Structure 1
């Protein structure tokens, strides 16, 4: 999308089911696991570029030997830095012991990250500061293996305040006020309780302390721990974790908001946030990869037993549609087809915007992530054009000439590469005017393909959130081509409400659709709606989240989507450009037709899947009216 958004994180887990010697013999290296983890993370780099981390765990190490290793980075190239550090440590071991290094048994005993279980994470910081302390995986350490906990996740919780207070009521003193710390300590608390309960049970049965530790490791009930810990979580989450003795899991929220997929065979179990990265990394078919069901957890026991079990009661599926529109890699077969469908369904509105003058219209896309929707749009345009050609030929009623037939069938949509991203903007220019001029040169255009003051120019984008890049850059550079009309098409509907489950969209005043609506209310003397909505939100401020109603919807009720789109076009049209500007948005109905299994649409409709969503939108609107720029959760 032309407006950059920070968004969902990525997780990757690999559990090797065979000894390291097996992978050395079959694949030529005992480093098979860490190499595959690197590929899983690199192919998910789209999910997080503010931080990366890896934890490796060795099974069955003797006391005194290190069995957990961790590397994290929040640098400019975090994945690269993490794996350079890991392989740097391995190369040091190879340098000092070149012959022994090839031996998997020696490697496991002496080298970090020479183990059977790996958990990787890519971070976008939607909650908490961008420092190494907030980079996953996070750890809760203990001298008892079965009390050690490592977590990494793709999540945002809306009720951190409630959960924080619950931890305090338990007698804890959490070290920070974030959802990461809250989840870590919540799971850790029930992990401690499970350990303590089993310890008392085995102690009463007459076992010694030394005998009890392995018994606890065999008996620990991960399903019960996760079910108890997540009981009060409100939000979207896919959380991966491992325990020091070797059990591991990945759990998913009961609405299926955040994605998670897994694959297993007799050699490996692998979990990732996206299906195609597993396909590519392990060269397996899509139908062998399973989606973790909403409310379920995949649990991998130390002995290699694998099961998918319920930990929360599943709710109506509300998987994030933004995953389908933009965030996930388009190489997934279903996402690819859905994005094409999104473009195709826009065809009638697009043709109406140019008065069906295909002959004098140039079609293109910006940025590259909109390319798939562009293919669908062009399929729709060509299909419509074919219908028009057939009608024209039928209208000739047999009295056609070769010239007339050639004239009809030769008309084709004009497709051009109009905009090319030319430079990655750096904000070293601090003066606002200088920065705006720099933004205006982020894209370059292809000159000579648009007829001056005669052609329409249709450009499709994934979505239009703030519209800043459109106004300061894209529309100005497109106008340099001197089209008669510029039509910007969004394959997503109007973004009207904040997200609170992973995408960094929390402030109402940043949404161009909201600003356009507020502007129209003021222009038409309807400011009382803003004030009345504010009072209704304010009256709910101290209610439990389960009782809060999304009254912010009333802001949009007086206007049609088309009226709001027209006002958006007016607000985003820069001064001095010659072309007429129109903006065409996707409809909610078309979105659901294109993505029927992933209908999470709260940022478009205000229909939040969890009670915490209504609390967030309530707070966000109050903050807007009061001029408070803080986050709404």
Structure 2
């Protein structure tokens, strides 16, 4: 993606099912679980580079010894900083062995709410003198109705110290965990238990299913929420729409959870089929006793897994994602050929590094298949008269491929002046000179998605035009991004989408600017309604125009003033997206069809904010 956006967060969990002595004897170290957590986190570092944290629970700690540990850090080097701190603790307290336990949780964070800092870095921790009432919480999620959840727990008598969704969920689950511990206390106290025996009974019978069902009943959003209790229970719960991803691996001595499948394969050296996907609405629960239970907490409904996971966010090393990204490229072949008038001899194909490379490979395969069919027809049509030289010329015809765009430098924030910053931004990418015949050749460059178009205009198109091609065709393997995400990706402002700005320009140019005011009035009129009654009025901004009209306006917007080449833009269709990724139909970024009522509420709010001057570039 030329315009980078912040990813979703990443989660990792490891539960050792045997005594630590087993790992010392089998794998040579009691730190085996901790080392696996490090590997799971490092292999998912792409999912969060603002901060990282881990929590660990020790099952067999003696009274007076610590049994729950946490370490967090901020910045792009947070993973290394966290684990370095852990190993310093181990060196300082070798007999107590801090962080050497049976339960581990790791988290990689990108903030999508504008809130950052160490206090917002997962895991969150709720302390209590009773082990069963301690809770460590982390997740990859964003709730659209955190205000409702906040009001719900306040009405119950709680007094949250923050209103961020993670704090609210921690308090909600913590309250229910306390209630469950009280329920078990009364149950076993009536049976005559007391002291250590009573405590053991409570810890052995904490009903996490009951807690998760009650808590999640009012949640609206996309989430994978993970937790550890101080007494040794573990859970990971996925939203009923399957928006956010989670996978797990279970063996006789370990259970592990991660946001992506291939990281589990790499960390544990296992096959694809050994990794299971946590189903929509399902929780993976591991009890203190080590019982592993996949449990349906909420019924699956309107299942719409995030398609952006497939296009961009997840690692391309996943078997299915790799195939899907290639198919996204292949499906663009027909439209690309029309844009270059089927002129292979005068067209050079390339990609915008680094994430579009797999889609580029798929497009190249599709182009070569088309080319081979044409060569077969040519050979068959004149098979009686062709000379050996003519056959050789036909067989020698190839798709022209070059690496034209190279990511060269990273823009540094110490450049403060706008003019200097813009000049530097223009050189983030470079080109391979001498590969294009000026005024003769066209260039086709594929990207995996186009969000803002800023890097295309300032750098990529600018640098490609230096070779003075006849035409530059920018191809996006995803459809036009028109609507904000509200489920955990940092795409919340209407004004940042070039497709939205293109539609607004067209409305004004064609004398239809009143529609903008009408949509604002309709959004405002719904502001006080329950989320279930709200509809997405922002769709009306795009309704008067075809996809091609918006694409053509985007092409004008990304063309630098001094560009000597004609610029065109081709987007994947939504139908093509679903054909390539049939099991991940969450397309709300492109279609505006949100899987939860809260999505409609937040897209209208985003439009109101833009209209009133918040998140709007031209005000």
Bucket of the pairwise TM-score, normalised by the shorter protein:
over 0.9
Structure 2 counterpart SS, 1:7: coil
State the SS of the aligned residue for 1:227: helix
Match of 2:41 in 1: 41
User: How do 1:272-311 residues align onto structure 2 when only pairs under 5 Å count?
Assistant: 272-311=258-297
Give the equivalent residue in structure 2 for 1:185: 171
Paired with 1:470 and 1:340, the residues of 2 have a C-alpha distance of: 22
Q: Which moved more, 1:584-593 or 1:620-629?
A: 620-629
Out of 162-171 and 465-474, give the one that drifted further.
162-171
Partner of 1:101: none
The aligned counterpart of 2:531 is: 545
2:136 counterpart residue number: 150
Aligned position for 1:2: 2
CA distance in structure 2 between the aligned counterparts of 1:39 and 1:441, rounded to whole angstroms: 35
Are 1:616 and 2:593 matched, yes or no? no
CA contact (8 A) 2:23 2:32 kept: yes
Once the two structures are superposed, residues 441-473 of structure 1 have per-residue CA deviations (whole angstroms, 9 ceiling, x without a partner) of 111211111111111111110100000111111
Equivalent residue in structure 2 for 1:517, among 496, 503, 510: 503
Q: What is the match of residue 456 of structure 2?
A: 470
Deviation at 1:159, TM superposition (A): 0.8
Report the Cα offset of residue 207 of structure 1: 2.2
Residue 482 of structure 1 and its aligned partner are, at CA, apart by 1.5
Q: Verify the 8 A CA contact 1:460 1:488 in the aligned structure 2.
A: yes
Cα deviations by residue, 1:63-91 (Å, 9 ceiling, x for unpaired)? 11101111100133111111111112223
Report what 1:100 is aligned to: none
Report how many residues are paired: 616
Is 1:211 aligned with 2:202?
no
Within 2, Cα distance between the matches of 1:26 and 1:200? 42
Deviates more, 1:482-491 or 1:398-407: 398-407
Question: Do the aligned partners of 1:127 and 1:179 also contact (CA within 8 Å) in 2?
Answer: no
- Residues 54 and 107, structure 2, Cα contact 8 Å, conserved in 1: yes
Give, in whole Å, the separation in 2 of the partners of 1:69 and 1:226. 23
SS at structure 2 position matched to 1:349:
helix
For residues 186 and 286 of structure 1, the distance between their equivalents in structure 2, rounded to whole angstroms, comes to: 36
SS of corresponding position for 1:368: coil
Aligned twin of 1:66: 66
Q: Which residue pairs with 1:103 in the alignment?
A: none
1:625 and 2:593 are equivalent in the alignment: no
Tell me the distance in 1 between the aligned counterparts of 2:440 and 2:2. 26
Query: Paired residue for 1:367?
Result: 353
Deviation at 1:209, TM superposition (A): 4.6
1:497 to 483, 497, 515: 483
Find the aligned partners of 1:249 and 1:398 in 2 and give their Cα distance: 72
Q: Is the 8 A contact 2:239 2:281 kept in 1?
A: yes
Q: How does 1:71-86 map to 2 (within 5 A)?
A: 71-86=71-86
Q: Which runs of 5+ in 1 are unaligned?
A: 95-105
Instruction: Tell me the TM-score normalised to structure 1 length.
Output: 0.96
Please, which runs of 5 or more residues in structure 2 have no aligned partner? none
Q: Trace 1:183-332 onto structure 2 (pairs within 5 A).
A: 183-332=169-318
Q: 2:575 aligns with which of 582, 589, 594?
A: 589
1:173 correspondence with 2:163: no
Report if aligned partners of 2:496, 2:615 keep a CA contact under 8 Å in 1: no
Task: Give, in angstroms, the shift of residue 265 of structure 1.
Answer: 0.7
2:374 match: 388
- State the TM-score, normalized to the length of structure 2: 0.98
Equivalent in 413, 421, 443 of residue 427 of structure 1: 413
Asked if 2 retains the 8 angstrom alpha-carbon contact of 1:249 and 1:299, the reply is yes
User: Does the residue aligned with 1:263 lie in a helix, a strand or coil?
Assistant: strand
Deviations 1:325-363 (A, max 9, x none): 000000000000000000000000111111111111111
Residue 13, structure 1, aligned to residue 13, structure 2: yes
In 1, the alpha carbon distance for the partners of 2:88 and 2:436 equals 53
Coordinate RMSD, CA, aligned: 1.1
Shift of 1:128: 4.8
Distance of 2:133 and 2:259 partners within structure 1: 26
TM alignment of 1:115-130, pairs within 5 A: 115-130=101-116
Higher mean C-alpha displacement, 126-135 vs 137-146: 126-135
Instruction: Describe the superposition over 1:188-228 as per-residue Cα deviations: whole angstroms up to 9, x where unpaired.
Output: 11111111111122222232254321111111110110111
* Alpha carbons 2:494, 2:615 under 8 Å: kept: no
| 2-structure distance, mates of 1:626, 1:204 | 61
Query: For residues 478 and 273 of structure 2, what CA distance do their matches in structure 1 show?
Result: 28
Structure 1 window deviating more from structure 2 (320-329 vs 177-186): it is: 177-186
SS at match of 1:628: coil
For 2:85 and 2:317, the matched residues in 1 are separated by 30
Q: Distance in 2 between matches of 1:11 and 1:27?
A: 24
Deviation at 1:429, TM superposition (A): 1.1
State the Cα distance separating 1:397 from its structure 2 match.
4.8
The within-5 A match list for 1:570-585 is 570-585=556-571
Give, in whole Å, the separation in 2 of the partners of 1:518 and 1:394.
52
